[in-house]
Each structure stands twice: as structure tokens, then as C-alpha cells.
Amino acid sequence: MSSLTARAAQFAASTDWSQNAVAVEREIDLAEHDGVDLLVLPEGVLARFTDQKERIREYAQPLDGPFVTRVLQATRGTTVTVVLGVHETSDTDKPYNTLLAVRDGELVARYRKIHLYDAFAARESDNITAADVVPPLVDVAGFRVGLMTCYDVRFPELARLLALAGADVLVLPAAWVRGPLKEHHWSTLVTARALENTTYVVASGECGEANIGRSLVLDPLGVAVAQAGEGPDRITALLSRERLTDARTRLPVLENHRFDVSPTPRPLPVR
């Protein structure tokens, strides 16, 4: 197809997974009604804990648990591809921070977060298990979509790996924490990942007391074609194959790059 309709929807997740499931179901219904091809929801919407973050260990669910089951059911019979973040139980007491791509009642792809948010006095690794597998590309309406999660955006290697693998679009579910300069970091980094890889970026930021919202859709030349504020919202944009081709013709960075990026992860630091 020559175009793809993408939407980023932002809301504030609560500690109640069933309440969050209702919010996800509503966004899926609206996206299907509006003819959206790709719906990107925030990171970790199964449950959110502003304080007592260790509680996510007990609230995490397996992928065949009730939350994901409801999401799968909500997409059955629809054409929209939904990307959202959950906390997935693991073989240890620390779950994975996992992105799911879901379509027509089926799990299309899974990506377990590689870069954990151990920064700005936060330590995601205290409660989450880091993964080390580069996410797959997902085909949506003829566009190849690469998966990234929140803090991943600060590491250009992952975006470049996905672009070199053939990604036309990068999706970025996030729960970007408020703080000095953080909104500036968010907009700058999301724009950079689009521009340096000549890809579209659809970034969905959770809103609420702790997070900034500010969902964005960037085109392959780093132009913000849609953006949200700090409250619950949804933004929709038409992603054009013509614009993608034109950007890559005028700015052939994927052809001109001189250094390979290895998908082999470095060992995690010992703490």
C-alpha cells in the first residue's frame, strides 16, 4: 500500500489491570471505527505504580493471562494492528517489560525491553529483567515496523539496526517520567531517531501524574506531523510511501553509513 494510517493514543494507566484493559479495548474500538491501520499505546499499561514500583513483580501476568487475553479478544475480527506494553512474568521473580504487536486475535510479535531505565535516580533493573534480543519487524499494510520501548530511544544503535533491517516505521511506546529538561529530551531524541534513519516514528507517551504524555508522530525528515499535549489524547497521521521514498532519495544516510552496528549485546554491568 502507498500509505498507512497510524495513531498514538495516550492515557494514564492505573494499578487495576481490568480498568486498564477497558481503556485499551476502547482505543481498539475507536481505531477500528476510524480506519486506523496501526495503533500504538503506551508502555506498561497492564498496571502502573508511581510509588512502590516493586509491586509490578506481583502484578505481572503471563502472555496467556487475563489482560493479554482480553486484548487479543478485542482485536479479533478487526484490521488494526495494536502495539502496547505489558509486564510479562519470567522464570525469575523479576518480570520482563514487553511490547506486544497484536492483530485479529493473534500475537504477531513480542519484544522484551533491552535497555532498562537505570538513570535519573531510577532503577528499573531492580524489578525488571533485561532482555538481549533485537526485536523483529512487523508488516503493517505493506510498511515494515520496528519495535522500541521508552529508554531505548536514548540508544541510537537499536534504531539503526532496525532501519538497516528494513524498518520504514519505528514505534515507541513510553512512560516518559517528568523532570527538568525531560520534555526537551523526549522531543529531541524522538526527532533524531526519525531523521538519522529516515524512518517514520510513532511515539506514544503515557500521561498522568508521573509522566509527560506528549505523544508524537515524526516523518522521515524529522518533521512532527502530529503531537499531543500532557493529558489523555489520541493523534492520527497518514504515513506516506511517497514521502518515505523522497526522504531517502534526498538524504541517503542508510546507503552512506560506513560503520556496522552489531546486534551482539554487551554484558550487563555488575552492581
43 is a catalytic site residue: yes
Which residues contact residue 76 at a Cβ distance below 8 angstroms, ignoring those fewer than 6 apart?
104, 105
How far is residue 210's CA from residue 201's CA, in Å, rounded to a whole number? 23
Which of the following is catalytic: 27, 94, 124, 150? 150
- Residue from 27, 43, 88, 206 carrying the catalytic annotation: 43
Q: Tell me the residue type at 27.
A: E
Can 207 be counted among the known catalytic residues?
Answer: no
Q: Which of 94, 113, 124, 207 is catalytic?
A: 113
Cell 511506546 -> residue: 173
CA 200, 10, 19, 48 dihedral sign is positive
CA 10/CA 84 separation, integer angstroms: 11
Rg (CA), the chain: 17
By residue count, the chain amounts to 271
Amino acid at 117: Y
Q: Are 138 and 82 in contact (CB under 8 A)?
A: no
Helix, coil or strand: residue 3? strand
Bridge partners of 111, per DSSP, are 99
Residue 94 is a catalytic residue:
no
C-alpha cell of 1? Answer: 500500500
What are the residue numbers of the active site?
43, 113, 150
